[in-house]
Chain A
Amino acid sequence: MEHFVEIKPGRKLLKRIFLSINLWFVGKAIQAAAKVDDEVKQEFDALPDGFTFSLGAFPNGPYMVVGKNEKGVVKYMGSKIDTVRLDMKMSLKSIECLFLLFTFQESTPVANSMDRLYVDGDIPHACSIVRIMDIVQVYLLPKFIAKLAIKRYPKWSLKRHTWNRLMVNLRAIAGF
Chain B
Amino acid sequence: MYIPSYYEFCCKVKTVAGHGTLERIPGLLEAMGARNPMIITDKGVSQAGLATIVINAIEDKISIGSVEDDVPPDSDLKVVNHIASIYKKKACDSIIAVGGGSVLDTAKGVNIVVSEDADDLMQFTGAGALKRELKPLIAVPTTAGTGSEVTLVAVIADHDNNRKMLFTSYFLLPDAAIIDPRMTLTLPVHIAAPTAMDAMTHAIEAYICLSKNPLSDAHALEAIEMISNNIMAVMEAPDDGDARLALGTAATLAGIAFSNSMVGMIHTLGHSVGSVCHVPHGTCMSILLPYGLEYNMHKVGDRIAELLFPLAGAKVYATTPRQERAQKCVQYTRDMNQKLYEATNGIHARNLKEITDRDQNPMVPQSKLPEIARTALGDGSIFYNPEALEYDDCLMVLTAAWQGEKLDQSKVRKG
Contact surface of A with B, Cβ cutoff 8 Å: 1, 3-4, 109-110, 112-116, 118-128, 130-131, 150-153, 155
Contacts and interface: CB of A to CB of B under 8 A. Distances in A.
Given A109-B210, A120-B127, A153-B415, A114 B378 contact: no
Given A120-B127, A122-B163, A127 B382 contact: yes
Interface string B347-391: 000000000000000000000000000000111101110111000
A167 B126 CA distance: 37
Interface residues of B, number: 29
Q: Which 3 A-B pairs have the closest CB atoms?
A: A152-B415, A124-B378, A113-B210
Given A109-B210, A127-B377, 15 more contacts: A4-B131, A109-B383, A113-B4, A113-B209, A113-B383, A114-B6, A115-B6, A115-B7, A115-B211, A119-B127, A120-B127, A124-B377, A130-B383, A152-B415, A155-B413
Contacts of B414: 152
Contact of A123 (B379, B386, B387, B388): B379
A127 B379 contact: yes
A113 B415 contact: no
B237 interface: no
Contacts of A152: 387-388, 413-415
B29 interface: no
29 contacts: A3-B131, A4-B131, A109-B210, A109-B383, A110-B210, A113-B4, A113-B209, A113-B211, A113-B262, A114-B4, A114-B6, A114-B7, A115-B6, A115-B8, A115-B211, A116-B6, A119-B127, A120-B126, A120-B127, A120-B128, A125-B378, A126-B380, A127-B382, A128-B377, A150-B388, A151-B388, A151-B415, A152-B415, A153-B415
Contacts of A3: 131-132
Interface in B159-197: 163, 166
Nearest to A121: B126
A131 B8 CA distance: 26
A87 to B, nearest CB: 11
Nearest to A116: B6
B390 to A, nearest CB: 8
A118 B388 CA distance: 20
B112 to A, nearest CB: 15
B380 A127 contact: yes
Grouping DSSP codes into helix (H, G, I), strand (E, B) and loop, the B interface class, with mixed when no group exceeds half, is loop
A151 B389 CA distance: 9
Given A113-B211, A113-B262, A127-B379, A118 B127 contact: yes
Contact of B378 (A112, A116, A123): A123
Contacts of B413: 152, 155
A127 B6 CA distance: 23
Contact of B380 (A114, A118, A123): A123
Interface in B240-269: 262
Contacts of A127: 377-380, 382-383
A155 B211 CA distance: 27
B5 interface: yes
B387 A151 contact: yes
B372 to A, nearest CB: 14
Contacts of A150: 388, 415
A101 to B, nearest CB: 13
Nearest to B374: A46
A1 B415 CA distance: 44
A119 B168 CA distance: 11
A42 to B, nearest CB: 11
A174 to B, nearest CB: 31
Contacts of A116: 6
Nearest to A110: B210
Contacts of B7: 114-115
A114 B209 CA distance: 12
Contacts of A151: 386-388, 415
A76 B94 CA distance: 48
A62 B126 CA distance: 21
B388 A128 contact: no
A38 B377 CA distance: 17
Contacts of B128: 120
Nearest to A131: B377
Contacts of A128: 377-378
A131 B389 CA distance: 10
Interface string B201-244: 00000000111000000000000000000000000000000000
